[in-house]
Structure 1
């Protein structure tokens, strides 16, 4: 079953990469009287960010993560032993709200809250995002499922989107423990549904 799922994910990633490669390769032709600088600019824009040509080396289309990859993101975010630098790299905008990670780690330690990304991981709203289902539970309470949880690819890493970090934290801690970044109205909330299992 895991091999079959792996093939599906690989096929989806390949299809996404092929579509993006085709989109990157299609551009309007420059007029025949274009200047040398325009031709140089066009050649530079066709080159990948790592110096290779075309979409194959383009870091704008990262490899789609697995559920295990995204579980590692959540595990680091809630690990009290992880460094602050490692933690802030797990959530979009995390560097602006280190208290979020203290709250997440404290909640996990105090309540036994658990988070688990489950397959499938699907392409997201943009080429650098994916959507997944996250099961979360607190002992002696019904488990909950959050659908369409968005992870974004920034700075060479997959991160939990800021709005979903706030959604998950507000569903697992008391209202007075919710960090300011999640209560001051500065976070745009996605239309993801949270339901009881």
Structure 2
């Protein structure tokens, strides 16, 4: 059971990073806080943008955390989520697996931590804290990229997580 929880944490981390392009580009100044996501104590110092479509400024951790519920919403069809991860249009069913993993493991919590750091032209990194029951909190780095008009989770972050958890995906070359 513990191994399954750890494997699910990898999927949870992947899900966390898949939220970047879920924005409807409206911002009323508030951020929804989902029950399985903890808010970042550093959010007040987060200087990232509120838009996922500005190539010059990656979205803030607060913006990304606020979009998490929408990204993992089982009511949103997977076909509408394919612009969340670089290359995921090759495997839209991946999002259904992530929604199920979250539903099956509500005791796993995670939060994106400020700041989101621009690392180059159309590239940035963000830290994610993941907490599993009876396991010390873990912090994981993730890459996001600006691709096809939106910030997305980079394949270089998602594919190793999926492969490490034995999740086959057409978007990851080694899984084909």
Q: Does TM, normalized by the shorter one, top 0.5?
A: yes
Change (3 A) 1:170 1:140: farther
1:22-171 map, 5 Å = 61-72=55-66, 74-112=68-106, 113-124=108-119, 126-147=120-141, 149-169=142-162
Change (3 A) 1:72 1:158: farther
Q: Take 1:184 and 1:61, find their aligned partners in 2: how far apart are those partners?
A: 27
3-state SS of paired residue (1:185): helix
Bigger share in helix: 1
Name structure 2 gaps, 5 residues minimum: 1-41
3-state SS of paired residue (2:151): strand
Q: Take 1:179 and 1:74, find their aligned partners in 2: how far apart are those partners?
A: 23
The Cα offsets for residues 98-117 of structure 1, whole Å up to 9 and x where unpaired, read as 23212211111112233321
Highest relative contact order (Cα 8 Å, sep 6+), 1 or 2? 2
3-state SS of paired residue (1:158): strand
Q: Give 1:74 deviation, angstroms.
A: 4.4
TM-score by length of 1: 0.54
Q: Is the 8 A contact 2:91 2:171 kept in 1?
A: no
TM-score by length of 2: 0.59
Q: Give 1:151 deviation, angstroms.
A: 0.9
Q: Which has the larger radius of gyration?
A: 1
* Residues matched between the structures, number: 131
Name structure 1 gaps, 5 residues minimum: 14-58, 188-197
Change (3 A) 1:182 1:79: same
Q: Is the 8 A contact 1:73 1:90 kept in 2?
A: no
Change (3 A) 1:92 1:132: same
**Alignment RMSD (CA, Å):** 3.1
Q: Is the 8 A contact 1:70 1:158 kept in 2?
A: no
